[in-house]
A and B are shown apart, each in its own frame.
Chain A
């Protein structure tokens, strides 16, 4: 850090609001893409596992290995195939969501009480109607809990993708901050990243509460 450089220069923040806003939007976009794609893949995988329980160990094991690979190493593996690109960054980010999402979707579906399933069959729901009208709504709180963890984790991980030219707020931290010995950019990037994570978590929780008024009713009486 150059001597005499203050920790925070408000004038820089004010003058660069457009750059900061752009990076924030990029961060949000990368997170949404990763969690969205990750959720679709996880949902399909979870349904496959429900149909064939034998797949459970394989899928969750593979997702666990992906989750354990250090992000830097994963970038290194992918660059020969997909280059230094948005795609490379997203492949890594999506990989990290799978373990959490597959597990929570399965946990959610398994949380549906057996008597409820028996009643649903006895009433004459088709298996598809049962899934969409009974099982998924009941599984929703646990699925959303998984989405919240995946989202918060991904928001943190997006900063790392600045190493391959992406990164959203990570660009402020790494390129504008660390590389240029400029603490203000580091603080702005880090604080916004944390704020984004907290906001996204709160928003998802609010959406879940809205969609599952019955789970609040349960809390009140028991």
Chain B
């Protein structure tokens, strides 16, 4: 169990020492070439039909579509949980049919919706399953498990010896991801991995996973039926329609701005323009210079500044530069010091990382259609307006994106 055969050791070494994270294996190119899967005899309608896709190394490719579109079947053909009827699937040029299914699967991470943790194994043993199957030495497995739990945000000392039944849904999902990453596979398959957690926790797990992916750079095939999740997670989206026919394969932006056909248009929804706004962030916009006033400051200065800027509102801030409320330019007519009572309280606070879509809904919910963009200390760094975002919608050009075609 603990002694590895010499050739095992060399493969293990080639996969990169687990102690130095930057040297870990990054993604491999996954290619599907005219892949067809038919569950019945020849002549029956195929579940996946002549599907060709090239997934570049290190990217997240989301397979999305209505139920019965063959997205899960497509994913499972990559690790041969489903055998293709015809066509070729390769990982870094190697035909998956040339490898034994067991060897192939040990080189591919696998995460499923119900997580499927082994209930009779501790978190540590669950995480170390694949290294153990690959006969890594025990000391190395222990080290790797610790590193992985840390990577997914679970403190090894506190979690290693617990059983899955003692974890929350979110914690189980993280262990599932750690287990899939254990042998440092170049490719990961994820089947609706966040489908079973509530929306708030799902959003957090998605963000966490994206941060993790920016470090590990695996090639990820991700299946979901949720368009919003696809747009959020994907570098590339493959939209499948019933019968396993590829409707469009492109970047989220290209799919939202140029849907290939009516099916894609309907599938992504009538609000695709709005959805596209979640692809850009507030920091990508050119911020408007705010007119900042403090309580007790002289009105004449404020008036002069307001006339110059033409946004119609001054932002009342406290001594730390934190916004308190808006003051309409018409209220700054008289002479004398600024009266904080005149301010409309509750300026919408927007972070530079906020998506344009979320920023828009925040601004629309407040009486003043402006947003105060603040830094970590809630100090105002600039303003954005609803007009700026509707300009983006009208022009079709997303700020911060160089190409819309992908």
Q: Report whether chain A binds chain B.
A: yes
Q: Which residues of A contact B (CB under 8 A)?
A: 113, 115-126, 129, 134, 137-138, 140, 212-215, 217-218, 220-222
User: Are the CB atoms of A124 and B105 closer together than 8 Å?
Assistant: yes
Nearest 6 pairs of A and B residues by beta carbon: A119-B116, A122-B110, A124-B105, A124-B106, A115-B114, A218-B165
Q: Which residue of A lies closest to B132 (CB)?
A: A133
Task: Specify which chain A residues have a CB less than 8 angstroms from the CB of B118 in the assembled complex.
Answer: 116, 119-120, 134, 138
A115-B112 contact given A120-B118, A121-B81, A125-B133, CB 8 Å threshold: yes
User: Are the CB atoms of B103 and A124 closer together than 8 Å?
Assistant: yes
Residue in B105, B106, B119 whose beta carbon sits within 8 Å of that of A116 in the complex: B119
**Interchain residue pairs with CB less than 8 A apart (6):** A116-B118, A120-B118, A122-B110, A124-B104, A138-B119, A214-B120
A116-B116 contact given A122-B81, A123-B129, A123-B133, CB 8 Å threshold: yes
> Is residue B179 contacting chain A, with contact meaning CB distance below 8 A?
yes
Tell me, in angstroms, the Cα distance from A115 to B195 when the chains sit together: 14
Tell me, in angstroms, the Cα distance from A124 to B105 when the chains sit together: 5
Min CB gap A114→B, angstroms: 8
Residue in A121, A126, A218 whose beta carbon sits within 8 Å of that of B119 in the complex: A218
> Is residue B282 contacting chain A, with contact meaning CB distance below 8 A?
no
Q: Which residues of B contact A (CB under 8 A)?
A: 79, 81, 101-106, 110, 112-122, 129-130, 133, 162-163, 165-166, 179, 189
Most chain A CB within 10 A, of B116, B122, B163, is at: B116
User: Are the CB atoms of B120 and A126 closer together than 8 Å?
Assistant: no
Residue in B106, B115, B162 whose beta carbon sits within 8 Å of that of A123 in the complex: B106
User: Are the CB atoms of A124 and B133 closer together than 8 Å?
Assistant: yes
Other 18 A-B pairs with CB < 8 A, given A122-B116, A123-B130: A113-B114, A113-B119, A116-B116, A116-B117, A116-B118, A116-B119, A119-B115, A122-B112, A124-B105, A124-B130, A124-B133, A126-B102, A138-B119, A140-B120, A214-B165, A215-B120, A217-B165, A218-B165
Task: Specify which chain A residues have a CB less than 8 angstroms from the CB of B165 in the assembled complex.
Answer: 214, 217-218, 221-222
A115-B116 contact given A123-B130, A124-B106, A124-B133, CB 8 Å threshold: yes
Tell me, in angstroms, the Cα distance from A169 to B69 when the chains sit together: 67
User: Are the CB atoms of B166 and A138 closer together than 8 Å?
Assistant: no
Tell me, in angstroms, the Cα distance from A221 to B179 when the chains sit together: 23
Tell me, in angstroms, the Cα distance from A118 to B72 when the chains sit together: 13
User: Are the CB atoms of B102 and A118 closer together than 8 Å?
Assistant: no
Q: Which residue of A lies closest to B114 (CB)?
A: A115
Min CB gap A38→B, angstroms: 25
User: Are the CB atoms of A123 and B105 closer together than 8 Å?
Assistant: yes
Most chain B CB within 10 A, of A113, A115, A116, is at: A116
User: Are the CB atoms of B163 and A218 closer together than 8 Å?
Assistant: yes
User: Are the CB atoms of B120 and A221 closer together than 8 Å?
Assistant: no
Task: Specify which chain A residues have a CB less than 8 angstroms from the CB of B104 in the assembled complex.
Answer: 124
Q: Which residue of B lies closest to A122 (CB)?
A: B110
A138-B120 contact given A124-B130, A217-B166, CB 8 Å threshold: yes
Task: Specify which chain A residues have a CB less than 8 angstroms from the CB of B81 in the assembled complex.
Answer: 118, 121-122
Tell me, in angstroms, the Cα distance from A116 to B103 when the chains sit together: 19
Most chain A CB within 10 A, of B81, B117, B165, B189, is at: B165
Min CB gap A166→B, angstroms: 40
Task: Specify which chain B residues have a CB less than 8 angstroms from the CB of A140 in the assembled complex.
Answer: 120
Min CB gap B212→A, angstroms: 19
Task: Specify which chain B residues have a CB less than 8 angstroms from the CB of A115 in the assembled complex.
Answer: 112-116
Task: Specify which chain A residues have a CB less than 8 angstroms from the CB of B162 in the assembled complex.
Answer: 217
Tell me, in angstroms, the Cα distance from A121 to B325 when the chains sit together: 59
Tell me, in angstroms, the Cα distance from A217 to B102 when the chains sit together: 31
Task: Specify which chain A residues have a CB less than 8 angstroms from the CB of B133 in the assembled complex.
Answer: 123-125, 129
Q: Which residue of B lies closest to A125 (CB)?
A: B133
Tell me, in angstroms, the Cα distance from A208 to B105 when the chains sit together: 33
Tell me, in angstroms, the Cα distance from A35 to B337 when the chains sit together: 96
Min CB gap B118→A, angstroms: 6
Min CB gap A173→B, angstroms: 42
Task: Specify which chain B residues have a CB less than 8 angstroms from the CB of A129 in the assembled complex.
Answer: 133
Q: Which residue of B lies closest to A217 (CB)?
A: B163
Q: Which residue of B lies closest to A119 (CB)?
A: B116
Min CB gap B173→A, angstroms: 13
Tell me, in angstroms, the Cα distance from A213 to B114 when the chains sit together: 22
Min CB gap B312→A, angstroms: 57
Task: Specify which chain A residues have a CB less than 8 angstroms from the CB of B106 in the assembled complex.
Answer: 123-124
Task: Specify which chain A residues have a CB less than 8 angstroms from the CB of B121 in the assembled complex.
Answer: 214
Most chain A CB within 10 A, of B119, B130, B133, is at: B119
Tell me, in angstroms, the Cα distance from A86 to B116 when the chains sit together: 48
Task: Specify which chain B residues have a CB less than 8 angstroms from the CB of A122 in the assembled complex.
Answer: 79, 81, 105, 110, 112, 116, 189
Min CB gap B301→A, angstroms: 63
A214-B163 contact given A116-B119, A123-B129, A134-B118, CB 8 Å threshold: yes
Task: Specify which chain B residues have a CB less than 8 angstroms from the CB of A137 in the assembled complex.
Answer: 120
Tell me, in angstroms, the Cα distance from A63 to B73 when the chains sit together: 41
Task: Specify which chain B residues have a CB less than 8 angstroms from the CB of A214 in the assembled complex.
Answer: 119-122, 163, 165
Tell me, in angstroms, the Cα distance from A123 to B106 when the chains sit together: 6
Q: Which residue of A lies closest to B122 (CB)?
A: A214
Task: Specify which chain A residues have a CB less than 8 angstroms from the CB of B119 in the assembled complex.
Answer: 113, 116, 138, 214, 218
Min CB gap B168→A, angstroms: 10
Task: Specify which chain B residues have a CB less than 8 angstroms from the CB of A218 in the assembled complex.
Answer: 119, 163, 165
